[in-house]
Amino acid sequence: MSASAKPLLQVQRLSAQFTRDAVVSQVVKGISFDIAAGEAVGFVGESGCGKSVTARAMMRLAPEGSSVELGGVVRFDGQDLLQLREADMCDIRGQRIAMVFQDPMTSLNPVLSVGAQIDDIMRRHTGVSRAQARRRTVELLGLVGIRDAARRSEDFPHQFSGGMRQRVLIAMAVSCQPDLLIADEPTTALDVTVQAQILRLLLRLRQELGMALMLITHDFGVIAGMVERVYVMLDGQIVEAGAVDDIFARPQHAYTRALLDAVPRLESAGRLMP
Protein backbone atom coordinates (compact mmCIF):
# COMPACT_ATOMS: atom_id res chain seq x y z
CA MET A 1 0.00 0.00 0.00
CA SER A 2 1.04 3.64 0.31
CA ALA A 3 4.38 4.60 1.79
CA SER A 4 4.58 5.27 5.48
CA ALA A 5 5.20 9.01 5.02
CA LYS A 6 2.45 11.39 3.92
CA PRO A 7 1.42 10.59 0.33
CA LEU A 8 2.67 12.78 -2.51
CA LEU A 9 -0.81 13.29 -3.85
CA GLN A 10 -3.93 13.13 -1.73
CA VAL A 11 -7.25 13.71 -3.44
CA GLN A 12 -10.37 14.06 -1.32
CA ARG A 13 -13.94 14.20 -2.60
CA LEU A 14 -12.93 15.60 -5.96
CA SER A 15 -15.87 16.58 -8.13
CA ALA A 16 -15.98 18.17 -11.57
CA GLN A 17 -18.98 19.72 -13.19
CA PHE A 18 -19.17 21.03 -16.75
CA THR A 19 -21.62 23.64 -17.95
CA ARG A 20 -22.05 24.00 -21.67
CA ASP A 21 -25.00 25.68 -23.38
CA ALA A 22 -26.85 25.73 -20.08
CA VAL A 23 -26.53 21.97 -19.71
CA VAL A 24 -24.81 20.83 -16.54
CA SER A 25 -23.10 17.46 -16.46
CA GLN A 26 -21.36 16.13 -13.43
CA VAL A 27 -18.52 14.05 -14.66
CA VAL A 28 -16.61 13.32 -11.48
CA LYS A 29 -18.71 12.71 -8.39
CA GLY A 30 -16.66 13.10 -5.30
CA ILE A 31 -13.78 10.63 -5.57
CA SER A 32 -10.90 10.16 -3.16
CA PHE A 33 -7.57 8.51 -3.77
CA ASP A 34 -3.90 8.96 -3.08
CA ILE A 35 -0.54 8.31 -4.65
CA ALA A 36 2.69 7.94 -2.73
CA ALA A 37 6.02 9.30 -3.87
CA GLY A 38 7.51 7.01 -6.49
CA GLU A 39 4.40 4.83 -6.61
CA ALA A 40 2.69 3.68 -9.79
CA VAL A 41 -1.08 3.71 -9.72
CA GLY A 42 -3.52 2.71 -12.41
CA PHE A 43 -6.92 4.22 -13.21
CA VAL A 44 -9.10 1.90 -15.23
CA GLY A 45 -12.52 2.38 -16.69
CA GLU A 46 -14.34 2.69 -19.96
CA SER A 47 -14.56 5.90 -21.99
CA GLY A 48 -16.59 8.56 -20.32
CA CYS A 49 -16.16 7.27 -16.79
CA GLY A 50 -14.36 10.42 -15.78
CA LYS A 51 -10.80 9.19 -15.46
CA SER A 52 -9.35 11.68 -17.94
CA VAL A 53 -11.40 14.46 -16.46
CA THR A 54 -9.97 13.59 -13.06
CA ALA A 55 -6.45 14.06 -14.38
CA ARG A 56 -7.26 17.35 -16.08
CA ALA A 57 -9.13 18.54 -13.04
CA MET A 58 -6.05 17.91 -10.95
CA MET A 59 -3.98 19.90 -13.40
CA ARG A 60 -6.72 22.51 -13.69
CA LEU A 61 -6.79 22.24 -17.46
CA ALA A 62 -10.30 23.04 -18.59
CA PRO A 63 -10.93 22.62 -22.33
CA GLU A 64 -11.36 25.82 -24.36
CA GLY A 65 -14.77 27.30 -24.22
CA SER A 66 -16.15 25.28 -21.34
CA SER A 67 -16.43 26.30 -17.76
CA VAL A 68 -15.65 23.74 -15.12
CA GLU A 69 -16.57 23.79 -11.46
CA LEU A 70 -14.27 21.85 -9.25
CA GLY A 71 -14.93 20.75 -5.73
CA GLY A 72 -12.93 18.93 -3.11
CA VAL A 73 -9.28 18.98 -2.22
CA VAL A 74 -6.24 18.03 -4.27
CA ARG A 75 -3.36 18.05 -1.88
CA PHE A 76 -0.03 17.83 -3.66
CA ASP A 77 3.05 17.94 -1.52
CA GLY A 78 1.13 19.86 1.15
CA GLN A 79 -0.60 22.41 -1.11
CA ASP A 80 -4.20 22.30 -2.26
CA LEU A 81 -3.89 22.68 -6.02
CA LEU A 82 -7.51 23.76 -6.40
CA GLN A 83 -6.87 26.84 -4.30
CA LEU A 84 -3.70 27.96 -5.98
CA ARG A 85 -3.49 31.06 -8.10
CA GLU A 86 -3.26 30.30 -11.78
CA ALA A 87 0.27 31.69 -11.96
CA ASP A 88 1.43 29.32 -9.24
CA MET A 89 -0.39 26.42 -10.85
CA CYS A 90 1.43 27.28 -14.05
CA ASP A 91 4.73 26.80 -12.24
CA ILE A 92 3.71 23.37 -11.04
CA ARG A 93 2.54 22.16 -14.44
CA GLY A 94 5.32 20.61 -16.39
CA GLN A 95 7.79 20.89 -13.58
CA ARG A 96 6.31 18.96 -10.67
CA ILE A 97 3.40 17.27 -12.37
CA ALA A 98 3.66 16.41 -16.04
CA MET A 99 1.20 14.85 -18.41
CA VAL A 100 1.34 12.66 -21.50
CA PHE A 101 -1.78 12.69 -23.64
CA GLN A 102 -3.49 10.18 -25.82
CA ASP A 103 -3.04 11.25 -29.42
CA PRO A 104 0.58 11.84 -30.39
CA MET A 105 -0.42 12.87 -33.88
CA THR A 106 -2.10 16.07 -32.69
CA SER A 107 -0.18 16.77 -29.51
CA LEU A 108 2.82 18.48 -31.05
CA ASN A 109 2.97 22.00 -32.48
CA PRO A 110 3.39 21.52 -36.25
CA VAL A 111 5.39 24.67 -36.82
CA LEU A 112 8.09 24.13 -34.19
CA SER A 113 10.86 21.57 -34.31
CA VAL A 114 10.57 18.81 -31.72
CA GLY A 115 13.78 20.01 -30.16
CA ALA A 116 12.36 23.49 -29.70
CA GLN A 117 9.31 22.04 -28.01
CA ILE A 118 11.42 20.21 -25.45
CA ASP A 119 13.76 23.19 -25.06
CA ASP A 120 10.93 25.52 -24.23
CA ILE A 121 9.61 23.56 -21.29
CA MET A 122 13.06 23.35 -19.78
CA ARG A 123 13.82 26.99 -20.33
CA ARG A 124 10.49 27.88 -18.81
CA HIS A 125 11.02 26.01 -15.55
CA THR A 126 14.77 26.14 -15.10
CA GLY A 127 17.05 28.99 -15.94
CA VAL A 128 19.17 27.11 -18.44
CA SER A 129 20.59 28.74 -21.52
CA ARG A 130 19.48 27.85 -25.02
CA ALA A 131 22.59 25.77 -25.63
CA GLN A 132 22.28 23.90 -22.36
CA ALA A 133 18.63 23.20 -23.01
CA ARG A 134 19.39 21.81 -26.45
CA ARG A 135 22.11 19.56 -25.07
CA ARG A 136 19.72 18.17 -22.51
CA THR A 137 17.04 17.80 -25.17
CA VAL A 138 19.30 15.69 -27.32
CA GLU A 139 20.15 13.56 -24.27
CA LEU A 140 16.48 13.08 -23.53
CA LEU A 141 15.67 12.13 -27.09
CA GLY A 142 18.38 9.51 -26.91
CA LEU A 143 17.02 8.34 -23.58
CA VAL A 144 13.59 7.67 -25.04
CA GLY A 145 15.08 5.73 -27.89
CA ILE A 146 15.27 8.15 -30.79
CA ARG A 147 18.33 7.40 -32.84
CA ASP A 148 20.46 10.14 -34.32
CA ALA A 149 18.99 12.43 -31.70
CA ALA A 150 21.07 15.50 -32.47
CA ARG A 151 19.95 15.67 -36.06
CA ARG A 152 16.41 14.58 -35.31
CA SER A 153 15.96 17.30 -32.74
CA GLU A 154 15.78 19.79 -35.59
CA ASP A 155 13.09 17.88 -37.41
CA PHE A 156 9.43 18.74 -37.37
CA PRO A 157 6.65 16.59 -35.96
CA HIS A 158 5.35 15.55 -39.35
CA GLN A 159 8.66 13.82 -39.97
CA PHE A 160 8.06 11.36 -37.13
CA SER A 161 5.83 8.34 -36.87
CA GLY A 162 3.13 8.08 -34.21
CA GLY A 163 5.18 5.91 -31.91
CA MET A 164 8.18 8.20 -32.18
CA ARG A 165 6.08 11.25 -31.54
CA GLN A 166 4.83 9.65 -28.35
CA ARG A 167 8.43 9.11 -27.33
CA VAL A 168 9.11 12.77 -27.97
CA LEU A 169 6.11 13.69 -25.84
CA ILE A 170 7.34 11.45 -23.06
CA ALA A 171 10.79 13.02 -23.28
CA MET A 172 9.11 16.39 -23.00
CA ALA A 173 7.11 15.31 -19.98
CA VAL A 174 10.07 13.97 -18.01
CA SER A 175 12.46 16.73 -19.02
CA CYS A 176 12.08 18.67 -15.78
CA GLN A 177 12.06 15.54 -13.66
CA PRO A 178 8.54 15.85 -12.30
CA ASP A 179 7.46 14.17 -9.10
CA LEU A 180 4.36 12.82 -10.75
CA LEU A 181 3.79 11.77 -14.34
CA ILE A 182 0.22 11.38 -15.51
CA ALA A 183 -0.14 9.22 -18.61
CA ASP A 184 -3.63 9.50 -20.06
CA GLU A 185 -4.21 6.57 -22.44
CA PRO A 186 -0.63 6.82 -23.69
CA THR A 187 -0.83 3.82 -25.97
CA THR A 188 -4.43 3.82 -27.13
CA ALA A 189 -3.73 5.62 -30.39
CA LEU A 190 -0.69 3.51 -31.24
CA ASP A 191 -0.13 0.31 -33.14
CA VAL A 192 -0.18 -2.82 -31.00
CA THR A 193 3.47 -3.53 -31.67
CA VAL A 194 4.46 -0.06 -30.56
CA GLN A 195 2.28 -0.10 -27.46
CA ALA A 196 4.48 -2.53 -25.62
CA GLN A 197 7.57 -0.49 -26.44
CA ILE A 198 6.06 2.68 -25.06
CA LEU A 199 4.92 0.95 -21.92
CA ARG A 200 8.37 -0.47 -21.38
CA LEU A 201 9.81 2.98 -21.89
CA LEU A 202 7.51 4.43 -19.27
CA LEU A 203 8.45 1.69 -16.86
CA ARG A 204 12.15 2.24 -17.41
CA LEU A 205 11.96 5.99 -17.03
CA ARG A 206 9.93 5.65 -13.90
CA GLN A 207 12.53 3.42 -12.36
CA GLU A 208 15.44 5.59 -13.44
CA LEU A 209 13.92 8.89 -12.36
CA GLY A 210 11.94 7.67 -9.38
CA MET A 211 8.73 9.40 -10.47
CA ALA A 212 5.26 8.53 -9.32
CA LEU A 213 3.09 7.39 -12.20
CA MET A 214 -0.62 7.75 -12.69
CA LEU A 215 -1.54 5.50 -15.59
CA ILE A 216 -5.00 6.03 -17.04
CA THR A 217 -6.41 3.46 -19.40
CA HIS A 218 -9.52 1.51 -20.39
CA ASP A 219 -7.54 -1.62 -20.91
CA PHE A 220 -6.62 -3.85 -17.98
CA GLY A 221 -4.05 -5.49 -20.17
CA VAL A 222 -2.01 -2.27 -20.17
CA ILE A 223 -2.04 -2.09 -16.38
CA ALA A 224 -0.54 -5.49 -15.78
CA GLY A 225 3.13 -5.24 -14.90
CA MET A 226 3.06 -1.47 -14.85
CA VAL A 227 1.44 -0.44 -11.58
CA GLU A 228 1.24 -1.46 -7.96
CA ARG A 229 -2.30 -0.36 -7.20
CA VAL A 230 -5.44 0.08 -9.21
CA TYR A 231 -8.53 2.24 -8.95
CA VAL A 232 -11.51 1.21 -11.03
CA MET A 233 -13.82 3.99 -12.11
CA LEU A 234 -17.38 3.84 -13.34
CA ASP A 235 -19.63 6.75 -14.11
CA GLY A 236 -17.62 9.32 -12.19
CA GLN A 237 -17.03 7.22 -9.10
CA ILE A 238 -14.41 4.81 -7.84
CA VAL A 239 -16.05 1.42 -7.50
CA GLU A 240 -13.07 -0.65 -6.52
CA ALA A 241 -9.53 -0.11 -5.33
CA GLY A 242 -6.70 -2.37 -4.35
CA ALA A 243 -3.31 -3.87 -5.08
CA VAL A 244 -3.05 -4.95 -8.66
CA ASP A 245 -2.57 -8.62 -7.91
CA ASP A 246 -5.58 -8.64 -5.63
CA ILE A 247 -7.75 -7.00 -8.23
CA PHE A 248 -6.73 -9.43 -10.90
CA ALA A 249 -7.15 -12.43 -8.65
CA ARG A 250 -10.27 -11.46 -6.72
CA PRO A 251 -12.27 -8.70 -8.42
CA GLN A 252 -15.06 -7.70 -6.05
CA HIS A 253 -17.21 -5.45 -8.23
CA ALA A 254 -19.21 -6.78 -11.15
CA TYR A 255 -17.91 -4.02 -13.37
CA THR A 256 -14.30 -4.85 -12.57
CA ARG A 257 -14.97 -8.38 -13.56
CA ALA A 258 -16.48 -7.25 -16.82
CA LEU A 259 -13.43 -5.12 -17.55
CA LEU A 260 -11.11 -7.99 -16.82
CA ASP A 261 -13.09 -10.26 -19.04
CA ALA A 262 -12.70 -7.79 -21.84
CA VAL A 263 -8.95 -8.22 -21.96
CA PRO A 264 -8.02 -10.55 -24.81
CA ARG A 265 -5.90 -13.43 -23.69
CA LEU A 266 -3.17 -15.18 -25.62
CA GLU A 267 -2.53 -17.85 -23.03
CA SER A 268 -5.08 -20.55 -22.41
CA ALA A 269 -7.86 -19.68 -20.01
CA GLY A 270 -7.41 -20.60 -16.40
CA ARG A 271 -3.91 -19.19 -16.02
CA LEU A 272 -4.81 -15.71 -14.83
CA MET A 273 -8.28 -16.16 -13.42
CA PRO A 274 -9.15 -18.36 -10.51
Partner 1 sequence: MAEARSIVDPALDTRPIAEAPPARKRRHLLLALGIAMLLAMLLVTALGPWIAPYDAIATSPDSLAGPSTQHWLGTDSIGRDVLSRLIIGGRTTLLITFVAVSLAVAAGLVLGLVSGYVGGLADELIMRGLDIVFAFPVFLLAIAVVAALGPTVPNLILTIAIVYTPIMARVVRAPVLSVKRWDHVEAARSVGVGELRIAIVHVLPMVMSPILVQTSLTLANTIFTVTALSFLGIGPPPPDPNWGGMLSEARQFMELAPLTVIGPAVAIVFATLTFIVLANGLRDLLDVAGH
Partner 2 sequence: MTRVVLVRLAWMLPILFGVSVVAFALMRALPGDFAQAAAGTADLTPEALETIRRGLGLDQPIWAQYLVWLGGLASGDFGSSFVTHKPVLGELLPRLAVTAELTLMAGAMAMALGVFTGLASARLRGRTDWFVRGFNGLLLAVPNFVVATLIVLLAGLYFPELGIFNYTPFFTDPLGNLGSMLLPAFSLALAVSVTISENTRAAVLEVSSQDFVMVARAKGLRPGAILRNYLVRNALTPVITVTGLQLASLLGGSILIETIFTIPGMGQYLFDSITSRDYPVIQAIVLVAAVIVLLVNVLVDVAYARVDARVSYG
Q: Which residues bind partner 2 (CB under 8 A)?
A: 59, 61, 63-65, 90-95, 98-99, 101, 103, 105-112, 120-121, 124-125, 156-159, 169, 172
Collapse the DSSP code of 220 into the 3-class scheme (helix H, G, I; strand E, B; otherwise coil) and give the result.
Answer: helix
- From the number of C-beta atoms within 10 Å of its C-beta (0-12, 13-18, 19+), residue 197 rates as middle
Binding partner of residue 272 among partner 1, partner 2, none, CB cut-off 5 to 8 Å per kind:
none
Question: Does residue 111 touch partner 1 according to CB under 8 A?
Answer: no
Q: Which is nearer to partner 1, 20 or 130 (CB)?
A: 20
Q: Which is nearer to partner 2, 86 or 267 (CB)?
A: 86
Q: Which helix (H) or strand (E) holds 163?
A: helix 162-174
Distance of closest approach, residue 21 Cβ to partner 1, in angstroms? 6
Whose CA is closest to 3, among 54, 41, 32, 31? Answer: 41
Q: Which helix (H) or strand (E) holds 11?
A: strand 9-20
- Looking at the DSSP bridge assignments, the partners of residue 35 are 9
Q: Which helix (H) or strand (E) holds 141?
A: helix 130-143
Question: Does residue 110 touch partner 1 according to CB under 8 A?
Answer: no
* Footprint (CB under 8 A) of partner 1, residues 10-49: 21
Distance of closest approach, residue 66 Cβ to partner 1, in angstroms? 10
Binding partner of residue 21 among partner 2, partner 1, none, CB cut-off 5 to 8 Å per kind:
partner 1
Distance of closest approach, residue 117 Cβ to partner 1, in angstroms? 24
Question: Does residue 64 touch partner 1 according to CB under 8 A?
Answer: yes
Measured CA to CA in angstroms, residue 215 lies from 85, 90, 185, 230 at distances of 27, 22, 7, 9
Q: Which is nearer to partner 2, 95 or 137 (CB)?
A: 95
Question: Does residue 65 touch partner 1 according to CB under 8 A?
Answer: yes
206-231: burial string, b at 16+ Cβ within 10 Å, e else: beeeebbbbbbbbbbebbbebbbbbb
Q: Which residues bind partner 1 (CB under 8 A)?
A: 21, 64-65
